[in-house]
Amino acid sequence: MIDGILLLDKPLGLSSTAAGLRVRRLLGASKAGHVGSLDPLATGMLPICLGEATKLAGEIVEGDKIYLFTIGLGARTSTGDTEGEVVERAPVPMIERTTVAAVLAGFVGETEQVPPMYSALKQGGVPLYKRARAGEIVERPPRTIRIASLELVDAGPGVLTCRVVCGKGTYVRVLAEDLARALGTVGHVTRLRRESVRPFDHSRLVTLETLEAYASTDGSKLDSPRGALPMVSMDEAVGHLPLVCLGAEAARKLGQGQIVDAPEALRLPLEATVRLRDPAGGFLGLGKVAAPGRVAPKRLVAQKVSEYNSRPSTRP
């Protein structure tokens, strides 16, 4: 059984859903689901929850994301990237690097951004991209986004490459269009790579090629033994949540759906989500504060629940 989060280096041309299914098949996981989507055009870090870790997907904090992207100046497309048709052209003025740096600085901080029509956001239960493909254009209210930093990496004739550190909900395709407009022209994204999703470490990225070799050789020809892929553990993935450690008897009762005493939860607010460990430090799953010093089960690891349910009560 594989339970954890794999940081896939998603290749070009593959949707996030298809990437998750590929990983699930290669590793023989029971379930798989991704955290934060990447367009087929984009490459880079895609956290994929496997097995019991899919229960935690809603609690995993998607921190700031770091993207490296290239803007092709002089042409705007229907989708904001190379997949769409050119809908507008404009001359590209001579632009000094100092001018670009000044424009980029103006985008740092909180700002308003209108989501693109080609996005997974829903209106009336229908994804916007489906409406766009049907030729519809609907009004989209602007949303507040946060850009922590935005820097110029390289510049060439009609091309800019930038790196942005941004908060959740930022559309880089829209950012690229807005940057081009601020520079006196139009533009679209020609290359997009998500370098990391905080708090995950980009050094733990795994390619599909590595996974395919791992699956086909059972790990025997890889540097790491079978089971030693650089996975993010479930406990680590929700490390931002308050920790509550339970005794063996409390862990057994929790696995039976009971509310248990947990002195570490005395000062936590009601309904707060907590991560749970057993006496040996094993990750039990998630609980919620039901009363001062009392914790109820929320999402438990099936293997641990089975383990403790099979134990006899330790009460005298």
DSSP 59: G
Residues in the chain: 316
Proportion of the chain in helix, strand, coil states, percent, rounded to 5:
25, 35, 40
Q: How far is CA 18 from CA 49, 151, 169, 266, in A?
A: 14, 32, 22, 44
178 is catalytic: no
Pairing of strands 187-197, 43-50: parallel
Sign of the CA dihedral running 217, 204, 57, 269: positive
Q: How far is CA 105 from CA 40, 149, 160, 161, 301, in A?
A: 29, 8, 15, 15, 46
- Rounded to 5 degrees, what are φ and ψ at 174? -70, -40
Q: How far is CA 264 from CA 47, 189, 235, 289, in A?
A: 30, 49, 17, 10
What tokens were used for 124? 């009336």
Instruction: Name the catalytic one among 3, 9, 39, 235.
Output: 39
- The catalytic residues are 39
